[in-house]
């Protein structure tokens, strides 16, 4: 399951990749903080994506996670548009027979996604200013 969405992310929707043989399920939820890295108050974030390329990259990253971690299934959902403080902007689920593979795959997927997916983030501050963050 790979998706770019404009509506709130339901983490339970990612469980569609889980099978009866999975004993380890690791989930990462990226949630909008109330401040930027320097402590400046944030009103929310705005995300844009080149969707066809982003979805292909999600699939590529998932294949790499399987190559690295073994029989693991992953789901990746990223939100675009306005995302408010406290809301989920990205969700990753990795399911495998054992917890170590699920944890390793989940971490690999979110790190690769942040580095490579054509998704851009603009921080929107309470003072009315905005700044695009460096990214893929």
Q: State residue 98's pLDDT score.
A: 97
Residues 6+ apart with CB under 8 A from 40: 125
**Cβ contact 79:5 at 8 Å:** yes
Distances (CA, A) of 135 to 78, 112, 117, 119, 121: 15, 11, 9, 8, 8
Position 135 scores a pLDDT of 58
With a cut of 50, which residues of the chain have pLDDT below it?
136
Taking the model in full, what pTM does it have? 0.94
Predicted local confidence at residue 97, as pLDDT: 97
What's the pLDDT score for residue 49?
97
Q: List pLDDT tens digits, range 67-80.
A: 999 999 999 999 99
Answer yes or no: CATH 3.90.1170.40 is held by domain 2-126.
yes
DSSP state of 117: S
DSSP three-state, residue 10: coil
Q: Is the Cβ–Cβ distance between 55 and 2 less than 8 Å?
A: yes
Domain ranges, ordered by start, for the chain:
2-126
């Amino acid at each position: 399951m790979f998706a770019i969405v404009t509506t709130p992310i339901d983490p339970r929707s990612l469980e569609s990749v889980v099978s009866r043989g999975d004993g380890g399920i690791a989930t990462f939820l990226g949630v909008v903080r109330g401040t930027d890295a320097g402590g400046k108050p944030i009103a929310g974030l705005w995300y844009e994506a080149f969707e066809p390329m982003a979805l292909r990259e999600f699939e590529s990253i998932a294949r790499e996670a399987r190559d690295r971690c073994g029989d693991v299934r992953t789901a990746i959902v990223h939100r675009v548009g306005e995302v408010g403080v406290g809301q989920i902007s990205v969700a990753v689920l990795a399911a495998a027979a054992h917890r170590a593979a699920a944890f390793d795959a989940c971490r690999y997927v979110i790190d690769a996604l942040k580095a490579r997916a054509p998704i851009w983030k603009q921080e929107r501050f309470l003072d009315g200013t905005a700044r695009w963050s460096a990214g893929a």
